[in-house]
Amino acid sequence: MNMMNRALLSHDHSSSNESAITDVVVPLKPVLFVVDSYFPAMAGAERQALVLARALRERGLKVEFVVPFLERWLPLEDEVEGFKIHRIDYPRIKFLGATLLMFNFSRYMMQHRHEYSYVHVHITKLLAACLGLLKPWLGLKVITKVSGHAEFTGGVLDKSKKYNPVYRLLGHYIHKLDYIHAISDYTREVLIDSGFDEQQILQIPNAVEIARFQNIVHPEKDDKQTIRIGFCGRVEKVKGLDVLMAACHKLDPAIRERITIVIAGNGRYLQQLKELVEQLGLNDNTEFLGVIDNVPEFLGGLDIYVQPSWAEGLSNSLLEAMSASLPVVASRISGNTDLVEDGKTGYLFDKGDSLQLAEKLDLLISDPAKRASMGSQAKDKIVGGYSTESVSQRLFELYCRV
């Protein structure tokens, strides 16, 4: 059998850096996903890697994973949902551990480079820099994904650390990679400002599995029924849940009596948030569900979704809420502004401004027709450009490019 199967593909998206493809080869060797974090995990970038791996498998591409050995109770060689996972062992010693992780990962890549057709790094950190260093000897194309705000604030792409010799060296090698995967307009702009060539940047958004949310129907409610306002994700300070609670506290008392705030998720800020809820007198209006297994069921029970974060990459939770035909209210930040067309698919408010958020919530609580219209348009937007089908098609063409 030949090492490649030929296939003809159409190319109907408009990214200037993805030249028209009429003839591609489908590799029989696996694409390697390098996830520089805990894996498997429910955090955004890690979950997104698994979503894309499933979609690519449906297109006939094999995907394997390499990850750091962070959870010591898991095996070094593992399998999740049929995907092979190899964990890179290293000692958990400050500074020395990171150096040995990079060394062991580099050794693995050089020993196994002929087993893969392409490398896609999810979360641009140390392992992405390693691949930049190895690039002349790998014989593989490498793309690294900037998954969120963290890479730019304290991470390897933080401009404030450009005079730090270690960060400067890491950034130098990341610039050596073939492509940088930007998930939002803001990410792309920051990468260009950081010195990356525009032709090196591929803007491909996060994807959502639309089929999981296609049967959700939100019944119309009259002005006496409870309106459920929800959030799903990590309960951390950066998510702005204190702003949500302050906004709900500022609602007219008659409106406030009609709402239930539902928080799904766990995190370091949970106890502090519960204390704030008590201080604001919102105990009777608030439900804390903890980590949930059935996100579609959770979203199906809401009337409004709120994403009040101080910083995001491109929120998976917001993508899912919009896929579930929910009207959304989101802070005006990177990622959220890519998804939410203010006044059409939802409302935007200035981050941290609880009064603005309260005003937007009031508009939706009092107008069931507006909730239905915005929810419908939100779903149309996601189906049109953020489905696993459309995103995986773009990655499929990239991996198969002649």
Q: Give per-residue pLDDT as tens, 203-224.
A: 999 999 999 998 898 888 878 8
SS3 198: helix
Any idea what DSSP says for residue 25?
Answer: E
- Beta strands in 132-219, from DSSP E residues, in sequence order: 142-146, 179-182, 201-203
Identity of the amino acid at 269: Y
User: What is the per-residue DSSP string for 327-376?
Assistant: -EEEESSTTHHHH--BTTTEEEE-TT-HHHHHHHHHHHHT-HHHHHHHHH
Q: How far apart are CA 123 and CA 157, in angstroms?
A: 11
- Of residues 386, 300, 298, the one with CA closest to residue 340: 386
Asked if 117 and 29 count as a contact pair (C-beta separation under 8 A), the reply is: yes
pLDDT, position 17? 52
Q: pTM of the full predicted structure?
A: 0.84
Alpha helix positions (H), 139-181: 165-174
Alpha-carbon separation of residue 305 from 4, 187, 194, 273, 394 (angstroms)? 45, 24, 34, 18, 29
Residue 309: name the closest of 241, 207, 378 by CA: 241
At residue 23, does pLDDT exceed 90? Answer: no
Helix boundaries (H) for 27-90:
44-58
| Residue 347 in tokens | 């409302």
114 pLDDT higher than 50: yes
CATH 3.40.50.2000 fits 4-207+387-399, yes or no: yes
CA distances from 271 to 231, 237, 259, 277, 317 (A): 16, 11, 22, 10, 22
Q: State the Cα–Cα distance between residues 194 and 35, nearest whole angstrom.
A: 23
pLDDT tens digits, one per residue of 316-367: 999 999 999 999 999 999 889 999 999 999 999 999 999 999 999 999 999 9
Cα gap 24→177, rounded to integer Å: 22
Residue 239, C-beta contacts closer than 8 angstroms, at least 6 positions apart:
231, 233, 267, 269, 308, 309, 310
The reported pLDDT for the residue numbered 390 is 92
CB atoms within 10 A of CB 313: 25
d(C-alpha 200, C-alpha 192), whole Å: 9
> CB neighbours (10 Å) of residue 270?
17
Q: What is the pLDDT of residue 42?
A: 66
- For domain 210-385, give its CATH number from 2.40.160.40, 3.40.50.450, 3.40.50.720, 3.40.50.2000: 3.40.50.2000
Amino acid at 277: V
Domain with CATH 3.40.50.2000 in the chain: 4-207+387-399, 210-385
Split at pLDDT 50, 70, 90, the class of 22 is: very low
Condensed to tens digits (0 to 9), the pLDDT of residues 142-193 reads 999 997 777 877 777 877 787 889 888 998 999 999 999 999 888 898 899 8
Look at the block and give the residue holding tokens 């999981």. 212
pLDDT in tens, 278-289: 999 999 999 999
| Token digits of residue 58 | 């449906």
Alpha carbon 321 to chain centroid, angstroms: 13
